[in-house]
Structure 1
Amino acid sequence: MSNFFGPTLPPPTNWLTQPRAPADRRNSITEPNIKLYVNAVYYPNWHVYKRRPPSSLNPGLVSHIFYAFAWVKLDGTVYLSDEWADTQIGVDGTHGCLRSLALLKQKNKYLKLILSVGGGGVGSQHFAEVAAKPAARETFGRTARDLVDRFHLDGLDIDWEHPSDPQQGVNYIFLLDAVRRYLPAPTYILTSALPAGTWALKNINLSVAHHFLDYINLMAYDFSGPWIDTYGHHAQLYSPAFPHSDAAYLSGDSAVTYLRTVGVPLSKIILGIPTFGRSFLGVDGTTGKYSGHGGEEGTFEYKDLPRPGAQEHVNREVGAAFCIGGDGGFVSYDNPTTVTMKATYVTRNGLGGLFFWTGTADASHPRSLVETAFKTLHNC
């Protein structure tokens, strides 16, 4: 296992001898029905254009809402990526999705609202340069604090996808240090979304990084997709006994095991669940090759699964659902059965909870993944 996961980087001496970050803790949620575990959702600001306002979320089932995304400029300035959606559009009786979320919190005092900075593609394009410069890191922390305070939010989520070499991993920790000074615990929550692949995680000294963070949002999905030439489950909880590709070695459990091995407290790990499926058309069951993808960019939202004419299955060995047939071919995703498995995994192993990308792609009762997670986590 050590050869597969690879070596970890030694922590810089000053971080060991002069820690600035808080000790391990869980946020105290006083609402009786929320109890202890995090059950969080991401809300992407562009979903308001799909007629999915913040009010479409079910706040009675979630503890944290991550608002995606703010972006960062080359000088380190954190800014709102879509001012119209974020602060101006008429929605839910107010102006802007951020104010709409504030209204949700007024009615649900236990809710924690967190601004997520970064995301895939353009959202993360300047992180490496910003994290490498002390002045830019200070600007990042100061402007992030300004936005959090301006909209009465509870904290920040850093979604740098992702430090790609050991030096960027060191700079990532410098960035966390700067942000934590501007957003001190316990007043503010600081989280970071990280990939589940050790090819990315090994670039960060997580035994040091976790001290600055309340939670690590482990993106335990996108294991298989159009970037590889064989089909597979994209969010499996366990690796199969006989993996047919390098991607098949990845799993939620393998990532959690790695984090635990390098010293991250299990209570700080939030296991990510996708509310979308990945499609593989023309699958050759002998070679594992496929000919294309269905859906928008090869994906279908969970609320649209299983596809018409397709039959749904669950592989309980690996903890993955899939459907075969219709316009999606082979589609890998999570369903209530696999979410129950993952929520049970969280409670049995003492993880911090679950999060979903995204809250607005979920289905309604009785197939709701967010509802299934909440009931399983809290035994209700």
Structure 2
Amino acid sequence: MIKKRSFLLTLVIAITFIGGIITGIYVAKNNNPKENIHIKQAPKSTIQPQSKELPKLEKKSSKVLIGYVQDFRDPTIVDYSKLTHVIFSFAHPTKEGEVLLNGDSALTNLRATVAHAEKFHTKVMLAVGGWFHINGGESYEYFKTAISNPTSRTKLVNELTKIVDRERLDGIDIDFEHPRSQADAVNLAAFAKELGAQLHPKKKELSVAVYSKIHAVTLTEIGFVVYEPSMFQDVDHVNIMAYDGQWDGSYNAANLSPYPFTEKIVNYWSDLFETHHLSKEKLVLGVPFYAQPEDPKIKQVSYGAIINQDADNASKDTVSMNGTTYHYNGGTTMKMKTTLALNHGFGGMMCWEIGLDAQGDNSLTSTIFETLTQSSTTPLKYYTAKQ
């Protein structure tokens, strides 16, 4: 009996032992050890990381759309979302090389323009010069005198650079209307070179507004305005004023800025830049946002006023208003001119001036913007980190 019990006890122990081994093998094969890992959350650090401000983005565009705006305009009327550059007009040079703005209102508007533009990464530049001077008469004599003397020229360069720094501007536009001799051309080139040397290391831009150089009636080159081609190496944009042809020969409002006139201008500047091995991307074609009356005793009107009278005028180039006929560039012509500039390798378009545009669907700014965007193989606007 005792032997039998011992045998049974030994058998039970053996079975239990063997069963444990089999069970262990089964569990090992059918359980993924990774699924049984418990991740313990690390305690929070007592050191709080400092939040870093994202780098400021600078708008950089394959094609520019530049809009001049006069200093008395309400800054809120500008469609900054479609412009790569706004050029605030004008600062006035003195013969001694100082810079004048048109009172506190101009400075207030300049600062408001910068504030609005920053929301859309639109660059704001300050134009110096223009046709009329704040002290009366043409600005030519003031500007000519300032840049003819090395001392006053350097002073003007320094004053403009100070304004750029103080008002957080993106550059300066030179609007010397117009160099009328070889000496003027040489002095203007020297001024641009010296100003560019101040601005470019600061990542600021320099542009120059230039006369069309083509006679609206004969469609031939005009010789009384002179430029030194080397100057264009020192600027970022060359804004061609391809309008105001009504004054060529006897007064003719129809010569304001017709398409054949613009075509000759584009060909002239294209050939000039190719001859001197300059990048045509610097060339920017200017267009008018105003209408010229056939009766010279009547004032110009804005494109906006023409559209306010009748929205159908957007597709036309002439309109009867105020007892006369006005000539202007409507949406269809603007599309053609923009395409013309692009086909010749120009860097973009320029408008004089934004305050004269229509609001809403018939805005010429919108028309040009859409044409640039649709015609370009790359987006009109893209962004890179500011260095």
Shorter-chain TM-score: what band?
0.7 to 0.9
Q: CA deviation at 1:356?
A: 0.8
Q: Report if the CA contact (8 A) 1:157-1:192 is conserved.
A: yes
Residue 343 (structure 1) aligned with residue 338 (structure 2): yes
Matches of 2:224 and 2:274 in 1, distance apart?
12
Q: How does 1:140-219 map onto structure 2 within 5 Å?
A: 140-185=156-201, 187-197=203-213, 198-199=221-222, 203-206=226-229, 208-219=230-241
- Please list the CA deviations of residues 214-257 of structure 1 after superposition, one character each: whole Å capped at 9, or x if unmatched: 01010000011497334423112324xxxxxxxxx985434434
Q: CA deviation at 1:347?
A: 2.1
Matches of 1:194 and 1:200 in 2, distance apart?
13
Q: CA deviation at 1:367?
A: 1.4
- When residues 188 and 200 of structure 1 are mapped into structure 2, their CA distance, relative to the original with a 3 A threshold, is farther
Q: Report if the CA contact (8 A) 2:88-2:124 is conserved.
A: yes
Q: Report if the CA contact (8 A) 2:178-2:225 is conserved.
A: no
- Please list the CA deviations of residues 104-125 of structure 1 after superposition, one character each: whole Å capped at 9, or x if unmatched: 13312x2111010000022443
Whichever residue aligns with residue 114 of structure 2, its letter is: A
- Please list the CA deviations of residues 295-323 of structure 1 after superposition, one character each: whole Å capped at 9, or x if unmatched: x2xx1111112695999597xxxxxx532
Matches of 1:311 and 1:183 in 2, distance apart?
45
- When residues 138 and 30 of structure 1 are mapped into structure 2, their CA distance, relative to the original with a 3 A threshold, is closer
Residue 355 (structure 1) aligned with residue 375 (structure 2): no
- When residues 305 and 233 of structure 1 are mapped into structure 2, their CA distance, relative to the original with a 3 A threshold, is farther
Whichever residue aligns with residue 365 of structure 1, its letter is: G
Q: CA deviation at 1:160?
A: 0.4
Q: Report if the CA contact (8 A) 1:193-1:217 is conserved.
A: yes
- When residues 86 and 119 of structure 1 are mapped into structure 2, their CA distance, relative to the original with a 3 A threshold, is same
Matches of 2:63 and 2:337 in 1, distance apart?
13
Which residue matches 2:93? 72
Q: Report if the CA contact (8 A) 1:310-1:325 is conserved.
A: no
Tell me which moved more, 96-105 or 323-332: 323-332
Q: Percent identity?
A: 23
Whichever residue aligns with residue 236 of structure 2, its letter is: D
Residue 232 (structure 1) aligned with residue 254 (structure 2): yes
The count of corresponding residues between Structure 1 and Structure 2 is: 306
Which residue matches 2:378? none
Matches of 2:145 and 2:343 in 1, distance apart?
40
Tell me which moved more, 196-205 or 160-169: 196-205
Q: Report if the CA contact (8 A) 1:220-1:251 is conserved.
A: no
Q: CA deviation at 1:183?
A: 1.5
Residue 120 (structure 1) aligned with residue 145 (structure 2): no
Matches of 2:201 and 2:260 in 1, distance apart?
34
Residue 55 (structure 1) aligned with residue 76 (structure 2): yes
Residue 84 (structure 1) aligned with residue 104 (structure 2): yes
Which residue matches 1:301? 302
Matches of 1:304 and 1:340 in 2, distance apart?
20
Which residue matches 2:68? 42
TM-score normalised per structure 2: 0.72
Which residue matches 1:6? none
Secondary structure at the residue paired with 2:260?
Answer: coil
Secondary structure at the residue paired with 2:67?
Answer: strand
Q: Report if the CA contact (8 A) 1:310-1:323 is conserved.
A: no
- When residues 186 and 218 of structure 1 are mapped into structure 2, their CA distance, relative to the original with a 3 A threshold, is farther
Secondary structure at the residue paired with 2:154?
Answer: helix
Structure 1 segments unaligned to the other structure (5+ residues): 1-28, 48-52, 88-95, 240-248, 282-291, 315-320
Matches of 1:74 and 1:133 in 2, distance apart?
9
Matches of 1:60 and 1:201 in 2, distance apart?
39
Secondary structure at the residue paired with 1:152?
Answer: coil
Matches of 2:324 and 2:312 in 1, distance apart?
10
Which residue matches 2:382? none
Q: Report if the CA contact (8 A) 2:314-2:331 is conserved.
A: no
Matches of 2:201 and 2:332 in 1, distance apart?
36
Query: Over the residues paired in the alignment, what is the CA RMSD in angstroms?
Result: 2.7
Q: CA deviation at 1:348?
A: 1.7
Matches of 2:263 and 2:372 in 1, distance apart?
24
